[in-house]
Each structure stands twice: as C-alpha cells, then as structure tokens.
Amino acid sequence: MKGLKKFISTILCAILAFTAIPLSAFAAEPQEKSRFTEGIFTYEIVDGSAAIVGCDTSFSGEMTVPETLGGYDVTRLSTAFENCAGITSVTISKNVNRIQYDSFKGCKNIVRFNVVEENGYFKTDEHGVLYTRNMEILYCFPAGSGIENYTVPDGVIKIYADFDGCDKLKTITIPESVEYIKENFSNCPNLTDIYFGGIEHRWKGMNGGLRGLSEKINVHCREMTVAEKIEYKMHALGAQLGPFMFFGFYFVIGIPYIPVALLLAFLQDLGLIHIKPY
C-alpha cells in the first residue's frame, strides 16, 4: 500500500513539474533574417528568393541587377542601392518583381533605367523612366537624366517616384488619370511648374498634393466644367443624404419648395444620377 501511494505521489509530482513548464519553452525560437554578401551585394532570403537590401556604396558605373544570388532568384529590391551616388545606369534583371520605391534614393547620377525584355513586371519609356509593365505606376525617375520637361503618360494611376536630386527638372505634366502621388516634389530645386490634367480639388485630395511645395512652384489645374461645378457644389451641400431623410425633411418642414440639393440626393439614391465625391 505504501508503495502504491509513493508511486502515485511520484506521478503527480511529475505531472505538476511538467505543467509548470511554460508553453513558450516548446515553441520554436524566432529566427532573425540572415544577411549574406556576394560581390558588392547584400541580400536576404525571403520566401525562397533573394531580396537585395544593400550595395557597396563605393561602386560606380553601370549597374546590372544579378539574376541570382547564392543560388536564389533575385526577385526584390529593398532599399537596395540607397546613397550609391556613383551608379550611372541600372538594368533590372528578368526575375525582379518587387521594387521598394526608395531603393534608389540618393542615386543622383543615374542617367536611365533599363529592363531586360524577359522581365514581365517592369518597363521603361524612351527617357529611361521606370514603370510597371502595364504603365499604371511610375516607380523611379532617373535623377541624373538631365530631363527638363517631363510628361507622365496618360493612364498612369500612381506615382511612387520621389524625384530626389532631379536638379534639371523644370516642369512636369501629370494626367488626370493619376489618383495617388506618394511624394511632393520638394526635392526638385529647379522645378517651377506642375501641370495637372484634373481639377484643383482632385489635386489637393491626392497624397503629396500641395504639401511641402516651394512657393516658387506653380500648380496649374484644369478649369472645372459647369457640370463639375454643380456636382462639387451638390457634394459640398451634403448630396449624400438618403431618401428617408429626403422625405422626412419635406413632410416635417412642410414647405412646398424642395431644395435642389435634396432632390439631386434623392435621384442619386435611386441611381438616376451620379455625383462625384471630389
């Protein structure tokens, strides 16, 4: 009997000792991303491919992004060439499908970007400006290109380029299709005029917009049409009111006159008209 009690006590102690061990002790230790160096490049392994995260800043001349590093396809550029002022041109290899917008920040002498034909994610225009393959996002602008007047193609939706160090740029024309601008052109010392194909309300609503612009930079926007002026006024007057509020206003106030703004709001709720939310 004593032996049985001793055996049970031993089992209970073992159970208590085991349950006292925190579960974290059995969890896998979090592993930090390891960085590797090959030639002038520093890279990490992310999702089974290589991401360039650094480069020897003393490098000068034409830069070609390698197709592989350490046996892994190079698919990403993450702040890869920041402050590599000696680079004069960059050729994007076929496997690159992600480029952090500030990967070339401080590279003031890049004359143009090039993209190999096999790359299905990026392309350049005749000036060597880097875009996505579908020409919807402007990724990088070659600061050392000497371009004085640049027109962003129609159909571009977003501009990620920071235009840092574009000392020669004097004017830039931006189409109405652009909906988002990440930067504000504050690092372009000779930029004097921005021509936007949309109306002023659209320009002010975009990220970047007028923030941080020098007073010497003139922003030229398209004049609003009569229809756009009406739409904007209706939106400013609260044209998003619903049909129940519309009827409630009419019957509670008891006024035979129906405000135009409420009438248009009601028609919009019925889907008969559309008022743009500028």
CATH of the domain at 76: 3.80.10.10
Judge whether 240 lies within some domain. Answer: yes
Structure tokens at 173: 């024309």
> How many helices and strands, by DSSP H and E, does the chain display?
5, 18
Residues 233 and 208 in one domain: no
**Final residue in a domain of this structure, among 90, 113, 136:** 113
Residues 153 and 99 in one domain: no
**Final residue in a domain of this structure, among 56, 90, 113:** 113
For the segment 98-136, what is each residue's pLDDT rounded down to a tens digit? 998 788 988 999 999 999 999 999 999 999 999 999 999
- In the chain, which ranges are continuous DSSP H helix? 2-19, 200-205, 226-236, 243-253, 260-269
SS3 197: coil
Residues 255 and 214 in one domain: no
Q: How many independent structural domains does the chain possess? A: 3
Judge whether 242 lies within some domain. Answer: yes
Residues 206 and 235 in one domain: no
Residues 233 and 195 in one domain: no
At residue 82 the predicted structure's pLDDT band, cuts being 50, 70 and 90, is confident
Judge whether 23 lies within some domain. Answer: no
- Look at the pTM and tell me if it is higher than 0.75: no
CA atoms of 14 and 123, how far apart (whole Å):
65
Residues 216 and 232 in one domain: no
Judge whether 15 lies within some domain. Answer: no
Residues 194 and 171 in one domain: yes
Judge whether 121 lies within some domain. Answer: no
Mean pLDDT of 254-268: 58
Q: Identify the domain containing residue 42 by its residue range.
A: 35-113
The DSSP bridge partners found for residue 3 are none
Q: Which residue has the higher pLDDT, 148 or 34?
A: 148
Lowest mean pLDDT among 129-143, 183-197, 221-235: 221-235
Judge whether 52 lies within some domain. Answer: yes
Residues 176 and 238 in one domain: no
Count Cβ atoms below 10 Å from residue 189 Cβ, excluding itself.
12
Q: Residue 239: is its pLDDT beyond 50?
A: no
Residues 41 and 105 in one domain: yes
Contact between 184 and 207 under an 8 Å Cβ cutoff? The reply is no
